[in-house]
Amino acid sequence: MAAVAESRSRPRTRPQHVLRGPHARREARVGLLFVAPCFLLFLAFRFGPGIAGLVLGFTDYTIGDSTHFTGLDNFQRMVHDPLFWSSLRVTVVYSVIAVPFTIAASLGLALLTRRAFRGSRLFRSVFFLPVVTSLILASTVFIWIFSTKGPWSSLMGLLGLPEQSWLTDSALVLPALALVGIWSRCGYGMLILLARLQDVPRELEEAALMDGAGPFQRFRHIVAPQLKPAFFFLAVIETTNSFQIFDAIYVMTGGGPANASYSLVYQLYDAGFKYSDLGYASALGCVLFVMTVVVALVQRMVLGREK
Amino acid sequence: MRRRSTTALALAAALCATAAVAGCGSGSGSGSSAKKTVSTWVYPVINDPKANDAYWNGLVKGFEAANPGITVKVSTYPWANRDTALTTALSAGKGPDVAYLIPDQLPAYQRNLVPADQWMTPADKAAFRPSALKAVTVGGTALAAPVLMSSYPLLCDKKVFDAIGETTYPTTWDQLAALAPTLKAKGFYATSYSGDTTATLNMTFYPLLWQAGGDVFSADGTKSAFASDAGVKALTWLKTFVDNGWTPKDLVTTTPQIEQTDLAKNKVACTWQNTAAEVEPFWGKENIVVGPALGDTAAVAYGTVGTLAMFKGANTDAAGKWISYVAQPANSAGLEKPGGYFSPRTDAAPLYPGDAQQEATEKVLGSTDVGPLNKAARDVMGVLAPQIQAALLGKTSPKKALDDAAQAADQLIARKR
């Protein structure tokens, strides 16, 4: 008994799963062998093109022509390109609208479908459906929804707001696109938060209930802290996703009206595939990459300080 | 010892991987010029996939029988994102030997193309309509062989005109504008202008610019020329239509499927942005009135030319024979007729004898423009289209919109030269 008590009180100073010796090394090699195909594919189709893109950003690469190293020319050109600043602003504004609302909508849906009730699985499936629906297809429908004669305009009319197409208004086009983004992404966020919510101990909430805590207090002091890692994950994923917004814009507005929805990835696409200016397109890709990494690091500092 | 063997192993693996990657990049596509295989990329000019396959298979069979030793492989790709696919393939060294291109694409791919002078026979060259040959000539060099032509005259919906009791169809800006208030009062639009920036200006704004007497580029192609009095006049005229609700405002920014548009619902009187074949399923053949090209100072319509171009790396002799074979009137007729297109050659037999609409459309071929053949043409569209949108939506004046676009365009043109 005393030995058991001693072993329980002894602090664990060494990790439990560190294996040593020839057997362990053989096992590690086998593990690496299993990982190797995936790792090689990653190198060939993700890491390799990524590095190539980075290098091309410092050249004047155009298809069928000789390529020259141009140093920082593409980046200097970017600094003086008003379209770059405009597309950067569009990307940031879109993200500022889309990311928090997507997480909020995901949280709302997760809390609604958290408890098992009759039809809860059906609701979860329905809420998840937009994630697996083609955004191109959905965007075609949203063009009609947001048109002057569409239901969204009629709804605005009922609320006493002007009946107009949100896609033709420079101030409203990004909120309209963000709505589409939120619609298409909140099902995924719901799933992540739902999984995390299942791990929140019921006893804690019940104890708080006994102590007279209201629903908001229970959520704020018990549920929300438990969801922090999931919020961090969602913030990174959704920010990355919204920085890369392209398909809905391409189908719904073509970057208009008057470049009011012309995003950074749209500019990258046009530079690369419309104007064959692949060096500049690669430089834009580098900036997008740096932006994504910086924002992810900031999010990690703010949201992910605790493990 | 262990470290040395590990290093050797890693080196060998790296070499293997390099060899594998190199192997991936040296496929057939555009290989040596000694090969006798001609890979050809086409698009669904013939909408029906079965008819499209039957046409190309029949042509390949006939060509291979007449030219033993040459193999032709035809692949049909979707229209959507065709430049993305072609650019990517060329970049990877997997591009085709021959591809279907429109004139707008020729300057963009000029570096990759074998000039037609190196493979087009003098007899073929002499047989093309001058406007068709002009449409494939960039900087004095013919880059492709025309295989079909189309024109976009002013089409009017008889049903709409019957509804307002009008029997005279407009042919000029003033006539169309004069009819617009009556049309609006009865719930119709005078026209439907597509201002979506993904739509080519060749079909939308440029015809108005040409009709007003203006042009996109200066004669030597070194400067933009649209910010002229003619340009301001064209944009102001168009803005009047948007401001007065004579054209659907939603279309200034979005392009829905044609069946979702007012054009398909018999709510639009006239269009210069569609062909008879496009509107026929919605208007009915009996309601299509084919007019001349819309005019102001001049009567000019957009028209396109479908071409076959040869890419570097192809066997010039084999690919040249194949292109020449397709371009023969008897062979290209099967490509032209299903879509209502016309032959680009003067030695072709009439394709639509007795069809008054097609005969009227064919008459416009002489007054069509395919759009500017300039390396910076697409870049210029990229800066001009949003400014046109801004002017039409009242965010800026037509003059300022064109001036701002011209300033940006001139920088782009200079960079492309």
Q: Which CATH number characterizes residue B86's domain?
A: 3.40.190.10
Check the CA dihedral B26-B28-B33-B39 and report its sign. negative
**Residues of B with Cβ-Cβ distance to A256 under 8 angstroms:** 195-197, 252-253, 386, 389
Matching residue, tokens 């920036």: B197
Compute the mean pLDDT over every residue in chain B, rounded to the nearest whole number: 88
How many angstroms separate the Cα of A85 from the Cα of each of A10, A89, A118? 60, 6, 51
Kindly report whether the peptide bond that precedes residue A257 is cis, defined as omega within 30 degrees of 0.
Answer: yes
State phi, psi for B23 to the nearest 5 degrees.
-60, -40
Distance between CA atoms of residues B397 and A83, nearest Å: 20
ipTM, interface predicted TM-score of the complex: 0.72
Determine the Cα–Cα distance for residues A65 and B312; give it in Å rounded to an integer.
12
Residue B193 within any structural domain of the chain: yes
Pair B314, B386 in one domain? no
Q: Which domain holds residue B248?
A: 155-302+373-416
Pair (B41, B189) in one structural domain: no
Nearest-CB residue to A274 (from B109, B250, B378): B378
Structural domain total, chain B: 2
Same domain, B321 and B396: no
Contacts of B313 (CB under 8 A, 6+ apart): B29, B30, B31, B32, B33, B95, B97
Report residue A92 as tokens: 């940031």
Same domain, B132 and B265: no
Q: What is the mean pLDDT of residues B283-291?
A: 95
Among A63, A170, A254, select the one facing B395 at the smallest CB separation: A170
Last residue of a domain, one of B369, B384, B405: B369
- By a Cβ cutoff of 8 Å, what residues of chain B touch chain A? 17, 21, 81, 83-84, 87, 90-91, 108-109, 111-112, 195-199, 249-250, 252-257, 260, 312, 378-379, 382-383, 386-387, 389-390, 393, 395-396, 408
Domain shared by B117 and B226, yes or no: no
B249 interaction partners in chain A (CB closer than 8 Å): 148, 165, 168
Q: How confident is the model at residue B165 (pLDDT cuts 50, 70, 90)?
A: very high
Structure tokens at B20: 């594998």
Nearest to A251 by CA among A103, A132, A142: A142
Whether residues B340 and B194 fall in one domain: no
Same-domain status, B139 and B159: no
**B165 plus B199 within the same structural domain:** yes
B387 with B277, same domain? yes
Is B18 within the bounds of a domain? Answer: no
Q: Which residue has the higher pLDDT, B93 or B2?
A: B93
* B215 and B353, same domain (yes or no): no
**pLDDT band, very low/low/confident/very high, at A199 (cuts 50, 70, 90):** confident
Same domain assignment for residues B350 and B393:
no
Beta strands at B144-151 and B301-310: parallel, antiparallel or unpaired: antiparallel
Domains of chain A in sequence order: 80-303 (1.10.3720.10)
Instruction: Say if B27 falls within a structural domain.
Output: no
Query: Does residue B142 belong to any structural domain of this protein?
Result: yes
> Taking CB atoms and an 8 Å limit, are B111 and A65 in contact across chains?
yes
| Residue B96 maps to a domain | yes
Asked whether the predicted pLDDT for residue A295 surpasses 60, the reply is yes
Partner residues linked to B189 by β-bridges: B268
Residues A143-177 have pLDDT tens digits of 999 988 889 999 998 998 888 889 988 999 999 99
Residues B327 and B284 in one domain: no
The predicted model gives B226-248 an average pLDDT of 97
Which of the four pLDDT bands, split at 50, 70 and 90, describes residue A115?
confident
Q: Cβ–Cβ contacts within 10 Å for residue B196, how many?
A: 22
Residue with tokens 């004046």: B397
Inter-chain contact B395–A258, Cβ cutoff 8 Å? yes
Asked whether residue B278 is assigned to any structural domain, the reply reads: yes
